[in-house]
Amino acid sequence: MHDRITLLPRDASADSRAGSLASLPTDLQEQVRGRVRLLALFLTIGFAIDPVLYFANYGFAVLAGVRLPAEFYHRLPFQWGNLGGAAASGLLWIVTRRRSVTPAQLLRLGLLYEVGICFAIAFGTIWEYYVATGRVPFMTWVNAVVIMFPVLLPGPPRQILIAAAAAAAMPLLSLAVLARMGAIRVALNDYSNAFVQGAFCVALAYMGARVVYGLGRQLARARELGSYRLVDKLGEGGMGEVWRAEHRMLARPAAVKLIRGARGGAGGPDISDEARRRFEREAQAIASLRSPHTVELFDFGVAQDGTFYYAMELLEGLDADTLVRRFGPIEPERAIYLLRQVCRSLAEAESFGLVHRDIKPANIFLCRYGIEHDFVKVLDFGLVKSLGGRAPEPDPAPALTADTVIQGTPAFMAPEQALGGATLDIRADIYATGCVAYWLLTSQYVFTADTPMGILMQHANAPATSPSSRTERPIPDALDRLVLHCLAKDPGERPQTATELLRRLDSIPMPDPWSESRAHEWWRRQGLPEAS
């Protein structure tokens, strides 16, 4: 890992699948599914309306004993054609609901459907209009369908052009078939009119396809960061966005965290410079750590548009905040199992002279990791503070945090951090870990108030009540006391290091300790991703 940010130029050959649907971003590919489904549903209803009304009128006439005119029965063959179109559209709608059908397959089905449906529209419209008026219609709805499809279904222009040309030829084919059947009389002018209209619509469809496809390609290129291509946004917050990403050469998914260059308002601070320094510090901090319980960093760089990013391992599971909100407080032995892993990550960070400063349930991720379950990864070193030691060299730029700004999450903030003290060490993370333990055991915060400042004041001044008094689940006395020691106002009364906290957690006797087998069974019951 480089000590400095590396500018990674965009590789012109990144789009190895240009000219195919796969060259578009995955979310745009998935839009094909929704659009084909919507189109199929719309046309199912459109084709079904006339037959429903026709057969409803027929039924009412039979019940009322009313004799219908002969013209009514002449329209019966066209209703069977409409029902056929409705059935085909409904079948396509069902196919779109199958996740096993890929967006590329759906696109091909959609284009084939376009050709078929244009034949049905042209054949039925021309014949029915001729029966009613004795003339070939000047125009059919085929033209609208040909022009509309490239907008609804983004795809490679060449495929769209072929399908549009075939669809636009359906009025010509219908005229020829109907004339061959003797159903209508067709003049040369009718053929030429259909040809000119079709050619014009094909040209418009091709231009529309190039515009829509080109915009998708531009978006795909904009989402390429070094060797990674962004796929789906997983979340966003004050420090930036997190995306699911794919490596262009390796079969390795990743989570990419990025922050885009932005300036503050007129006269305001240069927010992007401060955010950039924090972002760089976070990447360097993670890169210096090797604990399996600290999220692993793959890459770090700057895109040509000024976007700072780093790629880290993509984890399967849920964070401790979601865990408790979904399933309630957890067993004491499981809490110990998770907290021991958090301590291992903090112990290594401490050895590098790093203080996390934002330990909270949302930054403690429980994942399926290889064959293990309940494997903890500590996330988000965006507020990391260096105390010297073997950590990366301090940033020579101005301090990352203004003296008047308190950094962290109020519900998990140590008193010295809440009061804005300049001297923070690992014991602030020990306090936050105690708050996390409190949350895991009780599903409640240590302190609550109407405002963040009220919470901070309680952390600074109010004594914490024992976890056992806030839950009906039995908590061992040794664990109850240890959590309160972590929550001591005086840093000197807390465990002094993450290693000491780990040792004290190990010394708590548990009749039935949490184990990998129990974790695996819990994940299986909850339907969460399991190890293969």
pLDDT tens across 84-99, in order?
778 888 888 888 777 7
**Residue 304: per-residue pLDDT:** 61
Alpha-carbon distances of 197 from 83, 138, 201, 203, rounded to whole Å: 27, 10, 6, 10
Rounded to whole angstroms, how far apart are CA atoms 140 and 126?
8
Rounded to whole angstroms, how far apart are CA atoms 72 and 489?
89
- Return the H-helix or E-strand segment holding 398: none
| CB within 8 Å of 491: residues ≥ 6 apart | 414, 416, 425, 427, 428, 431
Residue closest to 141 by CA, chosen among 160, 173, 157, 117: 117
* Structure token pair of residue 62: 């039979």
**Residue 438: per-residue pLDDT:** 96
Cβ proximity of 203 and 240 under 8 Å: no
Rounded to whole angstroms, how far apart are CA atoms 428 and 407?
12
Q: Is 249 exposed, middle or buried (0-12, 13-18, 19+ CB in 10 A)?
A: exposed
Hey, what long-range contacts does 198-201 have (CB within 8 A, 24 or more apart)? 198/142, 198/143, 198/146, 198/168, 198/169, 198/171, 198/172, 199/168, 201/142, 201/143, 201/146, 201/147, 201/164, 201/168
Rounded to whole angstroms, how far apart are CA atoms 255 and 247?
10
Active site residues: 358
Alpha-carbon distances of 369 from 44, 292, 375, 435, rounded to whole Å: 46, 10, 6, 25
Rounded to whole angstroms, how far apart are CA atoms 394 and 390?
11
Residue closest to 332 by CA, chosen among 444, 442, 488: 442
Alpha carbon 331 to chain centroid, angstroms: 31
**Residue 14: per-residue pLDDT:** 38
Structure-derived torsion over alpha carbons of residues 493, 499, 504, 508, reported in degrees to the nearest 10: 150
- Return the H-helix or E-strand segment holding 351: helix 332-351
- Ranges assigned E (strand) in 248-353: 253-259, 297-302, 308-313, 317-319
509 — alpha (psi -120 to 50), left (phi > 0) or beta?
Answer: beta
* Structure token pair of residue 237: 């917050």
**Residue 303: per-residue pLDDT:** 65
Cβ proximity of 125 and 141 under 8 Å: yes
Structure-derived torsion over alpha carbons of residues 193, 198, 199, 202, reported in degrees to the nearest 10: 170
Low-confidence ranges of the chain (pLDDT < 70): 1-32, 74-75, 215-227, 237-239, 248-251, 259-279, 281-283, 303-307, 381-408, 421-422, 529-532
Cα angle 83, 85, 89 (rounded to 5 degrees) comes to 115
Rounded to two decimals, the pTM is 0.57
Alpha-carbon distances of 144 from 86, 167, 173, 282, 517, rounded to whole Å: 18, 11, 18, 54, 61
Rounded to whole angstroms, how far apart are CA atoms 72 and 155?
43
